[in-house]
Amino acid sequence: MKQHPFSKFVAILGRGKTKQRHLTLEESREAMEMLLRGEAEREQIGAFLMLLRLKEEAPEEIAGFAIGTRATFRRPADLPKVDLDWSSYAGKRVQLPWYILSALALVGAGYRVLMHGTEGHTPGRVYTREVLESLGVPIAGSFETAAGHIRATGFAYMPLEVLSPPLKHMINLRPILGLRSPVHSFTRMLNPFDAPAVMVGIFHRGFMDIHAGAARIMEMESFSVFRGDGGEAERRPNKPTQVWNSHGAAEPVVETWPTLLEGHAPRDEEMDISRLARVWAGEADEYGEAAVTGSMAIALRTMGKADSMEEADAKAREIWAARDRGRIPASA
């Protein structure tokens, strides 16, 4: 039987401890493009994803997968400019997704934000899409629709199945394979609208250097990655937050943002997403407001709108205090 063209990538990853190696940037790009064009068998997809998971991804692989995916996008020629790319692929299970109010507050202050993500791959979590829908914010069904939302309101949310249906299928293999796959990592790096600033939240601190390294390979103009609550780009107010910032191919600069609240954050047993709208309207929530302004501060620093952490925190609090409490930005 003739050897399948994709088998070479499985072989590179599965040759054993002494012979296996990371894929190069070019191999990673080629492999992902083949996967997204449907040029691999089902068995190969599962083997490939789990061998990568066992080995753990390298920066060259994350970058190559993201570059390969971006090459398959069918984007209109006249995409509007956005200020910040905000990915959301983890979901929340202990605290509400306060980062959504952070993004919308930035939109209300005149910044343009493109958010992309997915939902449903892990039971028991609250995902961005359902929260946005509850707030009356429309979900984009195409690149063209997302572009229209950005032009009209300054915000758009694109689900993964709109960006890449094959990737949505692969990320949904988690309950079948029993483990997350590299898709959960590199989708955060897709930056569909070529924003000059990209902010990424992760769960495992060991991935900080991997994502920062991938951003350097891709020469992202301004990139920040930090260990956020639940793996989302949300600052945890009751803990110091280490943020890795990189600009182009330069070495990353690490900043440790201070604790905003003392004590342990209690688990939210209800996870009532309707409370987000009430807090936006003025209902008091010390933890929620600290998470909102803290996450917004990192975003402002990433966009280059503050020269220090202290200035970013102060500016974020000003934006939050000045929000239009009677209306959710980008809502219908």
Domain ranges of the chain: 7-70, 84-321
pLDDT score, position 33: 96
Of 150, 103, 97, nearest in space to 127 by CA: 97
Mapping DSSP to helix (H, G, I), strand (E, B) and coil, where does residue 217 land? helix
84/81 Cα distance (integer angstroms) = 9
91: tokens are: 């979901």
Kindly report each contact of residues 243-246 with a partner whose C-beta sits within 8 Å and lies 24 or more positions away, as own/partner: 243/298, 243/301, 244/208, 244/209, 244/211, 244/212, 245/301, 245/302, 246/212, 246/215, 246/216, 246/220, 246/222
Please give the CATH number for the structural domain made up of 84-321.
Answer: 3.40.1030.10
pLDDT score, position 176: 86
Please give the CATH number for the structural domain made up of 7-70.
Answer: 1.20.970.10
pLDDT score, position 16: 74
pLDDT score, position 141: 97
33/76 Cα distance (integer angstroms) = 20
Q: Give 140-149 pLDDT, tens digit per residue.
A: 999 999 999 9
pLDDT score, position 206: 78
Q: Give 229-253 pLDDT, tens digit per residue.
A: 999 999 999 999 999 999 999 999 9
pLDDT score, position 332: 85
Which residue, chain included where needed, has tokens 């791959």?
A: 121
| Helix orientation angle between 309-321 and 286-302, rounded to the nearest 10 degrees | 120
pTM of the model: 0.95
- For the chain (length 332 residues), average pLDDT per consecutive 10? 91 83 95 96 93 90 97 94 97 96 98 94 87 98 98 98 95 84 92 98 87 97 96 96 96 96 89 97 97 98 98 98 98 90
